[in-house]
């Protein structure tokens, strides 16, 4: 069961209930929402800081506007918890981000109040503009289309493209800039400096044209985004002004919870914490556990960069999450946070590589989807020496369908000139990183998951791998299992368990998806008539498909069973639950073998 809502909040199921409250009760409601959010997320982790900062925005918007008739889109959507609580999901909120529960992001399929699904940044303006144009074409000129967008997301390329497009429309569009001055890590770039400047100088500047006015938006603000009464009044005034308009609100990430205001990066998504003191609760303990892939990546990059002065680090807005912050701290001139700008990050890397540098461009797998063409057109086509490190490869767990790194193996395998690999453990990650920066390595893709692998001797000196060679993990005679990446550790558990049933399964870690180890595959197909492929990625186009193509091309007869993410979107849950659902956890692999 979840937290018990306060007196006012307990009476509000939907915005219609909220509208009945007198204005002087709104501040108290905001406090109750914060208390509720803190209590809920302290036991069931989620995106705390951004949602605490957007409580008044959510209350004011639903108080003033006529949702769901008026369309409301939350950019990224991790800040929309108050919105969820006010739109029919208060009593379900304790299931937030859990298996079978509500999503941590807005979803059209979950509620009519979620006008558009989000999760990736900088999409809300384009979607709201599209809706506004549709309303106008359908003869509805009253409906308002609202995008709430953070200062970091607004600097994303797509949001800028939408501003440019919206400014020449008469769209009934209201952009609410939720400016808390921070991304997950400190916000970066010239635009954030500009926002800070207009916030300080607004009374002077207001007589002159500002950035938004130059884009034909009517600009209002800046206003205190936590002054609920003032917000409500400003929104009422703006409501009937035609055309594109922007309300600049100043908010505090983590508002109302001391620790979250003080340590905004940590409390963006803090995990479990004490709801009174804010202290983090570490369930894992500290000794005897393997390091995170991220930590090994960050430390190894610095080690390599000390040996090879051509190496450069690049992250699009995820320095802490990817551990690029280690290099940024040690070598500030050689590591760059370029903001929420995946496309730019890739072509920026291409430019560096064209001048002889060796960029390690670390991008979360699902965010890399944005930069597919840049990888083809700017990097692979020109055979540039860029190392793409795909963090969060595979099912990521609680963030759900918008964030799973499900498609990378498949979409990259189709691109010529790429070397694609995935380490089974942290030791292998280091060897892959070492191999990738050697002269002539070309464009390299190294894919690894969130979190910890298994205990290995990962601190030993790195060694060069033979590109395109797999590893035999264990001998067997009845069946062969071929895996890629850390999901191979589930295969190891399954093969051990199969032994107790008298089944002898051989296990091969293919390591390189491209070029694939054809010699090894020939050996496997000659020796076995039953072969299973296992990957933590979509079943269409990845390892299983590569082996099926190899089988067809070489006219082998063996039975091939492919395990991977099925051809549908997988929702949220723990990684173990999702692996189970997809049938490639140790138990699923074991069951598959027994069923043959
Ligand atoms: C395309 C994409 N890249 C990166 C992210 C990861 N990400 C989630 S929230 C966030 C920061 C957003 O900052 P801002 O827009 O200022 O909103 P705030 O969290 O401060 O409210 C980032 C980088 C993402 N969701 N989508």
Q: Supply the DSSP symbol for 184.
A: S
Burial of 586 (0-12, 13-18, 19+ CB in 10 A): buried
Give nearest CA residue, ligand 1 atom 13: 183
Distance 188 CA to ligand 1 centre (A): 12
Strands 512-514 and 418-421, by their bridges, are antiparallel
- In 3D space, the residue among 471, 394, 404, 474 whose CA is nearest the CA of residue 431 turns out to be 471
Query: How far apart are the C-alpha atoms of 514 and 416, rounded to whole Å?
Result: 10
Give nearest CA residue, ligand 1 atom 23: 317
Distance 91 CA to ligand 1 centre (A): 27
Tokens of 317: 């807005």
pTM, 2 dp: 0.97
Catalytic residue check, 342? yes
Give nearest CA residue, ligand 1 atom 25: 120
Q: Mean pLDDT for the chain?
A: 96
Q: What angle do CA 344, 350, 355 make, to 5 degrees?
A: 130
Q: Identify the pLDDT of residue 246.
A: 97
Q: Identify the pLDDT of residue 283.
A: 73
Q: What angle do CA 253, 317, 538 make, to 5 degrees?
A: 110
Query: How far apart are the C-alpha atoms of 368 and 361, rounded to whole Å?
Result: 10
Q: Cβ distance 108 to 401 under 8 Å? A: no
Q: Identify the pLDDT of residue 287.
A: 67
Q: What is the pLDDT of residues 529-574, one digit of tens each?
A: 999 999 999 999 999 999 999 999 999 999 999 999 999 999 999 9
Q: Which residues line ligand 1 (CB under 6 A)?
A: 50, 53, 76, 78-79, 120-121, 150-153, 178, 180, 182-184, 253, 317, 340, 342, 367, 370
Q: Cβ distance 359 to 386 under 8 Å? A: yes
Q: Helix/strand/coil (H, E, C) string of 288-328?
A: CCCCEHHHHHHHHHHHHHHHCCCEEEEECCCHHHHCHHHHH
Q: Which residues contact 264 (CB under 8 A, 6 or more apart)?
A: 49, 182, 253, 254
Q: Identify the pLDDT of residue 454.
A: 87
Which residue from 195, 340, 365, 367 has its CB within 8 A of the most atoms of ligand 1, so it is best to mutate?
Answer: 340
Distance 120 CA to ligand 1 centre (A): 7
Residue of 34, 107, 259, 370 marked active site = 370
Distance 370 CA to ligand 1 centre (A): 14
Other beta carbons less than 10 A from residue 299's beta carbon: 18
Q: Identify the pLDDT of residue 541.
A: 98
Catalytic residue check, 90? no
Query: How far apart are the C-alpha atoms of 156 and 146, rounded to whole Å?
Result: 18
**List of the chain residues with pLDDT < 70:** 202-207, 209, 284-287
Nearest ligand 1 atom to the CA of 178 is 21
Distance 75 CA to ligand 1 centre (A): 8
């Amino acid at each position: 069961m979840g937290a018990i809502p306060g007196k006012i909040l307990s009476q509000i199921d939907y915005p219609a209930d909220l509208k009945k409250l007198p204005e002087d009760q709104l501040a108290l409601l905001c406090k109750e929402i914060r208390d509720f959010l803190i209590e809920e997320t302290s036991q069931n982790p989620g995106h705390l800081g951004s949602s605490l900062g957007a409580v008044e925005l959510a209350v004011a918007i639903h108080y003033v506007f006529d949702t769901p008739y008026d369309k409301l889109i939350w950019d990224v959507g991790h800040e929309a918890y108050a919105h969820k609580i006010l739109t029919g999901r208060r009593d379900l909120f304790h299931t937030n981000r859990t298996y079978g529960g509500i999503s941590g992001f807005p979803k059209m399929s979950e509620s009519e109040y979620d006008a558009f699904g989000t999760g990736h940044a900088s999409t809300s303006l384009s979607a709201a503009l599209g809706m506004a144009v549709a309303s106008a074409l359908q003869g509805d000129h009253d409906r308002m289309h609202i995008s709430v967008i953070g200062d970091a997301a607004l600097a994303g390329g797509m949001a800028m493209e939408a501003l440019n497009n919206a400014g020449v429309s008469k769209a009934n569009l209201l952009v609410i800039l939720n400016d808390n001055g921070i991304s997950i890590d400190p916000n970066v770039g010239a635009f954030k400096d500009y926002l800070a400047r207009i916030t300080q100088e607004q009374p002077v500047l207001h007589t002159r044209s500002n950035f938004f006015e130059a884009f034909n938006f009517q600009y209002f603000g800046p206003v205190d985004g936590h002054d609920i009464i003032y917000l409500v009044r400003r929104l009422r005034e703006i409501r009937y002004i035609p055309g594109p308009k922007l309300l600049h609100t100043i908010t505090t990430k983590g508002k109302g919870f001391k620790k979250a205001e003080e340590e905004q990066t940590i409390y963006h998504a803090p995990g479990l914490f004490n709801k009174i003191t804010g202290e983090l609760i570490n369930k894992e303990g500290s000794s005897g556990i393997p390091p995170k892939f991220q930590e090994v990546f960050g430390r190894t990059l610095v080690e390599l960069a000390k040996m090879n002065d051509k190496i450069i680090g690049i992250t699009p807005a995820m320095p802490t999450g990817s551990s690029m912050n280690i290099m940024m701290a040690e070598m500030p001139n050689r590591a760059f946070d370029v903001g929420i700008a995946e496309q730019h990050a890739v072509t920026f890397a291409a430019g560096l590589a064209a001048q002889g540098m060796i960029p390690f461009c670390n991008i979360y797998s699902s965010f890399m989807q944005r930069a597919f063409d840049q990888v083809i057109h700017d990097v692979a086509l020109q055979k540039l020496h860029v190392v793409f490190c795909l963090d969060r490869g595979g099912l990521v767990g609680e963030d759900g369908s918008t964030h799973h790194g499900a498609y990378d193996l498949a979409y990259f395998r189709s691109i010529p000139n790429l070397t694609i690999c995935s380490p089974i453990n942290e030791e292998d990650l280091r060897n892959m990183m070492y191999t990738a920066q050697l002269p002539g390595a070309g464009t390299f893709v190294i894919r690894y998951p969130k979190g910890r692998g298994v205990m290995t001797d990962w601190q030993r000196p790195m060694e060069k791998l033979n590109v395109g060679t797999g590893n035999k993990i264990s001998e067997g005679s009845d069946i062969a299992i071929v895996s890629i990446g850390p999901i191979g550790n589930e295969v190891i558990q399954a093969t051990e368990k199969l032994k107790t049933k008298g089944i002898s399964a051989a296990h091969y870690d293919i390591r390189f998806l491209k070029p694939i180890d054809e010699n090894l595959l020939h050996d496997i197909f000659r020796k076995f008539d039953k072969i299973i492929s296992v990957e933590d990625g979509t079943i269409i186009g990845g390892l299983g498909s590569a082996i099926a193509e190899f089988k067809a091309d070489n006219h082998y007869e063996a039975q091939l069973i492919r395990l991977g993410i099925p051809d549908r979107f997988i929702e949220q849950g723990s990684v173990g639950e999702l692996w189970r659902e997809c049938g490639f956890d140790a138990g699923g692999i074991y069951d598959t073998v027994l069923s043959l």
